[in-house]
Structure 1
Amino acid sequence: MVQSLNTTGVSKFTAGDLDRFAEVLNRDGICVIPELFDRELVQEWAAAFDALFRERQQRPGGLAPREKNRYYLTLPWVQPFANTKVFANPTILGVLDRVFFQEYRLVQLGADTPFQDSEYQELHRDFRPLFTDQIVTPLYALAVNFPLVEVTEDNGPFQMARGTHVMPREEALVKIRAGEIPVESFPMQLGDVIIRSPLAIHRGSPNITAQPRPMVVMGYVMHWLHTPVMDLTVQKDYYESLPQHLQEMLRCNVVEQLPENKTETYINFKY
C-alpha cells in the first residue's frame, strides 16, 4: 500500500471489515458496503439531482443518452455533490488503499438514470485491459456506486457477472451464455455503496416502474491512467479550501467560475 488518503474521518467499519471488503473486491470484482451513507445525506442528493436533471433535460446536449430511456450526466462540483464525506469517505478510501498499490485519482462524478421502459444494456466492460485479454489486468480503475432511491428488481438494478474482471472477455461471455456464470442483480438500500471493477462484465437492466432510478458513480483510477472522455471541473475557491492530499487526489480542471451551460461529454463508455 503506497498511498493512504484516509484522513478525513473515522471509518464506520473496522480494519478487519475493510480487509474483507478488499478481499471480496479482488476476488469477485465487486463488494457491497451496507448502510455507509446516512439516509439524510442521500435524500439531500436525490432532491438536488432531481432539480438538476430537469434543468439539464431542457438544455441541448445536457444529457448523454445511454440507449432507450437511460441517461447519464456529470454532476457539477457544487453542494451537495462536492462533499468530502462522500468522495473522500474514509471507508471507501480505506478499501481503495488496500487494492490500489500506487497513487490514485478521482476522475469522475456522475449519475446513470434509467426511466420507465428502459431496456437491458448489452453486456459490456467500461475499460479495456491494460495490454491483452491473455494477461490478467490488476485493479487499475474502480467505480464506486450508490443509489439515490432504493434499488429493487423492478427499477433497473445494476447487474454483473462475478469474477469476470480477471477473464478474457470472450471467455467470460461464453461462460455467461452457457449459464456457468450467472449475471446477478444487486438490489440496494439507501446508504448502500458498491465498489466494483469496470472490467467485470455488467449491464444496466430495465426499469419497469414510473420512478427514475438514479445511480451515482465516482471513478477512481491509478495516477498514470488518463481518461479524456471524463470531465471533472472544480471552482478555484472550493479547490483551494481542500487539504493538499485531497487536491492531489482530484484530477480536475480548476476554474474561477463553473460554466453555466454544461453539456455532456461522457458518451462512449462500452467495450
Structure 2
Amino acid sequence: MDSQHQSVGAEEIQRDIETLRTDGIVGKKSAFSREWAENMREDMMTAFWTSIQRPGGAVGRGPRRWYVEIHPEEFSGFVDLVTHPWVVAMCENALGKDYQIVEIGFDVPFQGAKFQPWHRDFPSPRDTYEDRRITSLAFNLTGVDVTEDMGPFEVAPGTQYDDGREWKHEMFPPKEIWPTFQSRAVRKFPQLGDISCRSALTVHRGTAHASPISRPVMVLGVDAPGAGHAELHDMMVTQAYFDSLPDIVKQHLVCRVVDELVPVTQKHDIEGLVMGSDPA
C-alpha cells in the first residue's frame, strides 16, 4: 500500500526509546502518507460493520465504543506497518530481537461514547513494576485527524511503572486516586499517517466523543518473548498469505496457518470498560 518507508537514524531511535521509557508513550509524525491512512480507515470500518453483526465479533469497551480484532489479511497495510523501519527499530530496542507480533485490531468510538475509567491494558508483570523493563508495546494509528470533540485518547505519562497489584483486576485504579492521573494527563491529537508507540501499562482512557465522525484507531500489539499475551489472541493467516510474507514478518508473527480464515471470537474482554465511566 505504501512505498514511502523512511529510514530512521540511530539517534532518533535512541531518543524515542528514552522517551518511551520515561513517559510510557512516544510518537512518530507522518510515518505513512495520508492516502495510506485513509485506506486503513476503510479497512477498519469494513471490518467493523462485518464483525458487529456476529456474536463475539466486537467487544464493548464502554457505551458506543467497540474493539474488534482482525486477521492480518483483513488489513491491506499490515505488511507495511510491521516492516516500517521505526516500528521494527522500536520493537527491537524495547523488546529485544525476538519480539513477537501478537495482535492486530482496532478501537472505534462513535458519537455518544463516554469517558472510560483510567486503566491499563494488562496487569503489570514483576519485570516492569520491579525492574522497570517494558515487555509489551501497543502501536496506535489513527483513521482520522483527531479534534477535541472526537473523544481524544488521554494518557498519564510515566505511569507504566506503577505497581497496580492493589487495583481492581490489577488494571483499574480506584476513583480516589484518579486525580493523580488527571493531574498529569495529556490528550493526544494525532493526524492521518502518524504512529504512536506506548507501553500497554501506561495508564490511559478514551474521553467523551461528541462528534458525528467516528474515530477508529488501529492497534498493533507486540510482546517481548515470554510476556504471554499471545494467549489472549488467535491470529490466523492462510498458507498463501503466509508464503507471501517477507522473512522479517514470518520470524515475528505469532499465528496459526489455516486453510480458511475463521472470524475472530474475542478473548481479551476488558470487563471494567463495558459500562463506561464519569469524567470525575
1:250 corresponds in structure 2 to 253
Moved more, 157-166 or 52-61: 52-61
* Residues 133/57 of structure 1: CA separation in 2 closer, same or farther (3 Å cut): closer
Per-residue deviation, residues 103-143 of structure 1 (Å, max 9, x unmatched): 21000000001111111111111122222886144110000
5+ long unaligned stretches in structure 2:
168-172, 274-280
Structure 1 SS opposite 2:257: strand
Structure 1 SS opposite 2:240: helix
Q: What's the offset of the Cα at 1:175?
A: 6.7
CA distance in 2 between partners of 1:122 and 1:58 (Å): 27
Residue 268 in structure 1 maps to residue 270 in structure 2 = yes
Structure 2 SS opposite 1:42: helix
Is residue 8–residue 85 contact of structure 2 (8 Å, CA) maintained in 1?
no
Structure 1 SS opposite 2:149: coil
Supply the AA of the counterpart residue of 1:99: A
After superposition, residues 114-153 of structure 1 pair within 5 angstroms as 114-131=109-126, 135-153=130-148
Moved more, 48-57 or 73-82: 73-82
Structure 2 SS opposite 1:249: coil
Moved more, 97-106 or 69-78: 97-106
2:103 to 100, 108, 112: 108
1:5 corresponds in structure 2 to none
CA distance in 2 between partners of 1:59 and 1:112 (Å): 17
CA distance in 1 between partners of 2:194 and 2:228 (Å): 28
- How many residue pairs get aligned? The number is 263
Per-residue deviation, residues 228-257 of structure 1 (Å, max 9, x unmatched): 222211111111222333212001111111
Q: What's the offset of the Cα at 1:195?
A: 0.2
Per-residue deviation, residues 166-210 of structure 1 (Å, max 9, x unmatched): 233379877751578411111110011100011111111111111
Q: What RMSD over aligned residues (CA atoms) do the two structures have, in Å?
A: 2.6
5+ long unaligned stretches in structure 1:
1-7
CA distance in 1 between partners of 2:181 and 2:68 (Å): 34
CA distance in 2 between partners of 1:163 and 1:119 (Å): 24
Is residue 239–residue 247 contact of structure 1 (8 Å, CA) maintained in 2?
yes
Is residue 137–residue 198 contact of structure 2 (8 Å, CA) maintained in 1?
yes
1:81 corresponds in structure 2 to 76
After superposition, residues 51-70 of structure 1 pair within 5 angstroms as 51-70=46-65
Moved more, 76-85 or 193-202: 76-85
Is residue 108–residue 230 contact of structure 1 (8 Å, CA) maintained in 2?
yes
Is residue 136–residue 200 contact of structure 2 (8 Å, CA) maintained in 1?
yes
Identity rate of aligned residues, in percent? Answer: 28
Supply the AA of the counterpart residue of 2:12: D
1:4 corresponds in structure 2 to none
Residue 237 in structure 1 maps to residue 240 in structure 2 = yes
Moved more, 25-34 or 55-64: 55-64
Supply the AA of the counterpart residue of 1:189: Q
Is residue 104–residue 220 contact of structure 1 (8 Å, CA) maintained in 2?
yes
Q: What's the offset of the Cα at 1:30?
A: 0.5
CA distance in 2 between partners of 1:131 and 1:32 (Å): 26
1:202 to 198, 201, 204: 204
* Residues 45/179 of structure 1: CA separation in 2 closer, same or farther (3 Å cut): closer
TM-score by length of 2: 0.85
Residue 221 in structure 1 maps to residue 216 in structure 2 = no
